[in-house]
Structure 1
Amino acid sequence: MSEQALLVMDVQRMIVDRYPDPAYLPRLRKAIDTARANGVRVIYVTVGFRPGAPEISPRNKLFGRLAGAPASAAAAQANDIHPDVAPGPGDIVVTKRRVSGFAGSDLDMVLRANDIDHLVLTGIATSGVVLSTLRQAADLDFTLTVLSDGCLDNDPEVHRVLTEKVFPMQAEVTTVADWVAAR
């Protein structure tokens, strides 16, 4: 029997705010509630750094501007998981240090310790955390499902190409409604 986990990735307030789609969080909430009701482990993957971001090289094009930046209470709060999809009791929160959910985190250890071999991917952005996590998870031999409308990207065409052409080579791609109906 395959053990599944729903990965809810990069839905921190500061990230969600950059992707205005009023239907996204309610749709994601439905997937989360369905997972919990059906015994599917819910794992949140967030991006985060220690104060001063000593894990970041200034050479890193995406995160380099944060290297050596002083921590602030406002920045920490903005980095919290959005309250509309906040973790519940029994959910796991993993902090990653780069784009992939596996990079600099203990995600693989958590998955293996819980005998999870099937990942259901959601998150922001499709071309960022979802793509990077999918590729690494496939290389680690996980069975993969992507909830296409459980992902967002700032470029709709990139989202379409990934969910319709790239992801199906390594994952089943479905919608939140179809995944919920199959539970």
Structure 2
Amino acid sequence: MANLERLNPHTTALVVIDLQNSVVALNGVPYSTKEVVRNAVRLVNVFREKGAFVVLVRVASKDGKDMLRPNADEAPRWGSGDRPKDASEIVPEIGVTDHDHVVTKHQWGAFYGTDLDLQLRRRGIDTIVLCGIATGYGVDTTAREAYQHGYNQVFAVDAMTGLSQEEHDYVLKQIFPRIGRSRTVDEIIDALSK
């Protein structure tokens, strides 16, 4: 794997997927959700220091009726039943600031039905660094949508985790190499600091 060239903080955004109370409460594999939050916080802090655009994505529902509910063989892992009032709040370790852009989605991907693409394009963003939970759901779906919108992508592999090892590995080995570059948090921070 070649070194990552410099990431320009003026044209690169960090997109953090679903690091919210209800999702972080799940069991992550291969990284614990606490490890993912810790690594994502490192990225968020450096992006903020560099003046880069930080997008915090969360999934939320007012009454459950605004979520996609296709006929499927398996029920959703989350999103049904009563949820705690703070379920969709971004975890306090991230510390949402006035400069962050918060996207509320109602399905797996962060682009469909939101203003994410509009906000990125208005700022001249052509590259996104993607992290969060879960690798094979919100992160993968958002990555595929970003690819279809023409964005360059860098995947922070140690700042994301799956709900199973198979799910995480499949996306990292079969999908991400075809639509972007997978790097560690340290490599991304180094590329942003060049």
Do structure 1's residue 174 and structure 2's residue 183 form an aligned pair?
Answer: yes
Unaligned runs of 5+ in 2: 1-7
The one of 89, 102, 105 equivalent to 1:96 is: 105
Between structures 1 and 2, the one with greater helix share: 1
TM-score, with length taken from structure 1? 0.87
User: One-letter code of the match for 2:64?
Assistant: A
The one of 9, 13, 20 equivalent to 1:5 is: 13
Please report how far the alpha carbon of residue 78 of structure 1 lies from its aligned counterpart in structure 2 after TM superposition.
2.0
Unaligned runs of 5+ in 1: none
State the SS of the aligned residue for 2:150: coil
Please report how far the alpha carbon of residue 39 of structure 1 lies from its aligned counterpart in structure 2 after TM superposition.
1.9
User: One-letter code of the match for 1:129?
Assistant: G
State the SS of the aligned residue for 1:23: helix
Q: Distance in 1 between matches of 2:164 and 2:11?
A: 33
Q: Distance in 2 between matches of 1:139 and 1:29?
A: 27
Q: Distance in 1 between matches of 2:155 and 2:186?
A: 12
State the SS of the aligned residue for 1:75: coil
Equivalent position of 1:15 in the other structure: 23
Q: Distance in 2 between matches of 1:57 and 1:136?
A: 17
CA change 1:58–1:89 in 2 (3 A) is closer
Q: Distance in 1 between matches of 2:76 and 2:165?
A: 23
User: One-letter code of the match for 1:133?
Assistant: T
Please report how far the alpha carbon of residue 63 of structure 1 lies from its aligned counterpart in structure 2 after TM superposition.
5.4
State the SS of the aligned residue for 1:115: coil
Structure with the greater relative contact order (CA < 8 A, sep ≥ 6): 1 or 2? 2
The one of 47, 51, 70 equivalent to 2:59 is: 47
Equivalent position of 1:160 in the other structure: 169
Q: Which runs of 4+ in 1 moved over 4 A?
A: 60-67
Per-residue CA shift, 1:133-177, capped at 9, x if unaligned? 111111110111110111110212321232233201110110101
Q: Distance in 2 between matches of 1:64 and 1:34?
A: 32
Do structure 1's residue 138 and structure 2's residue 161 form an aligned pair?
Answer: no
Q: Distance in 1 between matches of 2:100 and 2:60?
A: 18
CA change 1:111–1:178 in 2 (3 A) is same
Per-residue CA shift, 1:23-81, capped at 9, x if unaligned? 2221111111111111221100111123x2332355455659957x6xx7x62312211
TM-score, with length taken from structure 2? 0.82
Percent identical pairs in the alignment equals 26
| 8 Å contact kept, 1:121–1:130 | yes
| 8 Å contact kept, 2:132–2:160 | yes
User: One-letter code of the match for 2:42?
Assistant: K
| 8 Å contact kept, 2:35–2:159 | no
